[in-house]
Amino acid sequence: MLTTAQQNNDKVVLRFSDEHPFALCDDKTIELARFVADLSRLKQHLELSRGDVLISCKGRYAFSLALLATWQVGRLAILPPNVHQRTLEHIALCHDVTTVLDDGFLKGLADSDCSFEEPCLELSFYAQDAALIIYTSGSSGEPKAIKKTIGNLFAEALAIKVTLPALNTPLVASVPPNHLYGLTFSIVLPWVLGVAIVDVCPLHAEEVLDTMHAVNADLLITVPVHLSAMLKQEIANAPTFVISSAGRLDAGLAKQWYERFGREIFEVYGSTETGVIAHRQQLSDEHWQAFPEVFIDQCADCLQVASPFIHSSEGEVFQSKDKVSLHKDGFILHGRADGIIKIAGKRVSLLAVEQAMKSCEGIVDAAVVAVPVNGHIRDMTIWAALACDEGVKMTVRDVRAMLHLKLDSIEMPRRISIHKALPREDNGKLRRSKILALFEANHDS
């Protein structure tokens, strides 16, 4: 357990205590002595070579060991956008990778000496040291490599800590640790809060609920699509506190959750480049409130961000593509600037089209993309992919009939593809290339 995390301008100091387990793995706990022994053995192994360390661990205990040991020996961690073999091979070629760590390395640590008898372990790192390279989700194109220092990561986690209510039980996250949302909230934040790491990453509603019950968790870190699936389950004890990010939380979903469980969802807005930016509970206030140490402004109707969570390579001020309006009570998001397109001279919001589709009865998920066309009047058209509720049989004609009541003819998708589920990443996001690939099958009209 991490009892304290301190950061000044020069150093980040972590103190892990033996008062509580460091991690909860399946049906066993990882106490401080085991953690120290495993960390020491892995550190010795990493000291034998130089170069970057590619971390593809799915389990959070192995991931934590890999990250901390990499920092201890002064090497750079590379976190891939996913753990597919072709992706790992490509990412390794893009960097000076000499070591690859996946969950299998834990087997070699099984005979580690657990003779550590001190009541706590203190680790100290320089805040300005390079921590890792992490990738964006690639939802609007190819994944982009983003740099982070150790100071960036812990400044962000400490700002989140002072914003959240006091929590002293483990948290469960249904998002993987190789993306910044999962890394920040399921790895670094537990260290800062002083709670045990939960090793497993449940991705299905039943698994999430089972895991929360098994570890007595009060806090759930998740994404909107997982919340939607959970509403279909019989839940005896809902999480005390739910954090949702990595995708827009529709007002209807937020309302359904509140009406059923009497608790608002805590939304977090941010990006891989910026880390967390703002938070809100939309049923109480639609305005977004900036996290501590985050400064916001506006340029050409789009949000500008400055904070200690942003790497210096991004510049002193990060210019986002998210359209906003600033108010004395915070700010309101209006979608991405590239999410507003012109069709036959009329401005069309892709977000509004997507929301209209999600509001149709029987549709549980939807995604729209703008596609260039060679036409006399139109130079862009809209394609829409959707998923129906289980047991619902829906045709393209049915979808168009419902959309005619919600959209103008110029906003109507020209192609509609219907599927059992959309190919979302583990972090809940959809890559544009995967959306377009859905139209290669004969499920559209």
What totals of helices (H) and strands (E) does the chain contain, helices first?
Answer: 12, 26
**Domain span including residue 156:** 5-336
At residue 445, the pLDDT reads 61
Residue-level pLDDT, tens digit, the chain, 445 residues: 444 455 666 899 999 988 889 999 987 899 999 999 999 999 999 999 999 999 999 999 999 999 999 999 999 999 999 898 999 999 999 999 999 999 999 988 866 667 777 778 999 999 999 999 999 877 666 789 999 999 999 999 999 999 999 888 899 999 999 999 999 999 999 999 999 999 999 988 889 989 999 999 999 999 998 998 899 888 877 888 999 998 889 999 999 999 999 999 999 999 999 999 999 999 999 999 999 999 999 998 999 999 999 999 999 999 999 999 999 999 999 888 877 787 866 778 888 899 899 999 999 899 999 888 876 556 788 999 999 988 888 999 999 999 999 898 888 999 999 998 998 887 788 888 889 899 986 556 6
- For residues 17 and 1, what is the distance between their CA atoms, to the nearest angstrom? 5
245 lies in the same domain as 154? yes
CB-based contacts of 305, cutoff 8 Å, min separation 6 = 274, 277, 294, 295, 296, 317, 318, 320
**Domain boundary residue, one of 309, 336, 363:** 336
In 100-110, which positions are buried (b, 16+ CB within 10 angstroms) versus exposed (e)? bbbbebbeebe
15 lies in the same domain as 162? yes
370 lies in the same domain as 350? yes
38 lies in the same domain as 58? yes
**Domain boundary residue, one of 280, 306, 336:** 336
pTM of the model: 0.85
94 lies in the same domain as 137? yes
71 lies in the same domain as 100? yes
Where residue 312 sits, what CATH number does that domain have?
3.40.50.12780
Please, are residues 378 and 413 in contact by the beta-carbon 8 Å criterion? no
**Domain boundary residue, one of 277, 303, 336:** 336
402 lies in the same domain as 321? no
End-to-end CA distance of the chain: give it in Å, rounded. Answer: 55
At residue 344, the pLDDT reads 67
395 lies in the same domain as 312? no
At residue 85, the pLDDT reads 93
143 lies in the same domain as 189? yes
Output helix, strand, coil percentages for the chain, rounded to the nearest 5. Answer: 30, 30, 40
CB-based contacts of 440, cutoff 8 Å, min separation 6 = none
306 lies in the same domain as 359? no
At residue 1, the pLDDT reads 43
332 lies in the same domain as 411? no
Q: CA torsion angle for 220, 221, 223, 226 (degrees, to 10)?
A: -40
Please, are residues 297 and 181 in contact by the beta-carbon 8 Å criterion? no
CB-based contacts of 168, cutoff 8 Å, min separation 6 = 193, 194, 195
In 341-368, which positions are buried (b, 16+ CB within 10 angstroms) versus exposed (e)? eebeeeebbbbbbbbbbbebeebbbbbb
- For residues 434 and 82, what is the distance between their CA atoms, to the nearest angstrom? 14
CB-based contacts of 45, cutoff 8 Å, min separation 6 = 69, 105, 108
* Nearest partner of 109 among 40, 49, 28, 57, judged by Cα: 40
At residue 195, the pLDDT reads 92
Where residue 380 sits, what CATH number does that domain have?
3.30.300.30
At residue 276, the pLDDT reads 98
146 lies in the same domain as 242? yes
At residue 444, the pLDDT reads 61
Please give the C-alpha separations between residue 279 and each of 129, 170, 258, 322, in angstroms, as whole numbers.
28, 21, 17, 15
Q: How many domains does the chain divide into?
A: 2
